[in-house]
Amino acid sequence: MKTTHPMTSKGLLSSIGVATVFALSGCSNNDNSAPQFAFNAAAKDRYVRVDRTGEPALATALLSRDPAVTPTGPSGALLNPGNASNGFNDQRDALNRGDPANDARDFAGMLTVGPQSNSLRNIHYKVGPALRALGLTPCSTETVTPPTSNAQVDISTCVAQAAPVILPDVITYDLNAAPGWPNGRSFDDPVVDRLLAAALLRISGTSPPHNINTLVGVINPSRDETGVASPAAFPHMRAAQP
């Protein structure tokens, strides 16, 4: 009589391993002459830098995508022009193509008093009265009340407190300062709320009425339409539906 023995777990695993090796070897491609990767050999000027991912929303908030708004620098020349392969010549593309070391020199004027509708002075001209109506103190002052043009709005205080925060358009980190944007950037930093506070409200000088966190939770709602609080920590996701 032939006697059989139950296969142990060790033997079963060994059998599965051998079977797997044979199965994989049957699927392999032994043709080593075929190229494994196909790299794009186009010249570097064919590529477009669409965002530096530096300071949050800087180009979106203060520069134009309208190709009719020419991105000219202090000398009146076109800034960081494209070429036949990269012909995007609006203000935002000009910033993204530029060297961050030249940001203050080339773009400070454009960001603050440029011709685009969303330059910093134009924004203060349009929303300054609304900010005051809400009980907030803008960093701008009006030389005529109400102003009839943006030329009657002084944003020098805004520029002094916001420029060190947003220029150059890179992420900076000081090991000797407390972490949190604008010093570095963590997942939970309310970066846009802080950027707007730096650009719109008086947060500097003697006894400033606001600070960089004044707009946190004011612009972006902290609760959904049912009144349930939004998750406070990254990745800010609610529990899965049952």
Query: Whole-model pTM?
Result: 0.74
Backbone angles phi, psi at 142, to 5 degrees: -110, 125
Neighbours of 15 (CB within 10 A): 11
Point out the least confidently predicted range of 14-18, 64-68, 99-103.
14-18
Cis upstream peptide for 182 (omega within 30°): yes
- Vertex 81 angle, CA 76 and 84, to 5°: 145
For the segment 166-195, what is each residue's pLDDT rounded down to a tens digit?
A: 899 999 899 999 999 999 998 888 898 999
pLDDT, position 203: 96
Backbone angles phi, psi at 193, to 5 degrees: -60, -40
pLDDT, position 32: 64
Give me the residue spans of the domains in the chain: 47-200
Q: What average pLDDT does range 126-155 have in this prediction?
A: 94
Q: Residue 10: which pLDDT band, with cuts at 50, 70 and 90?
A: very low
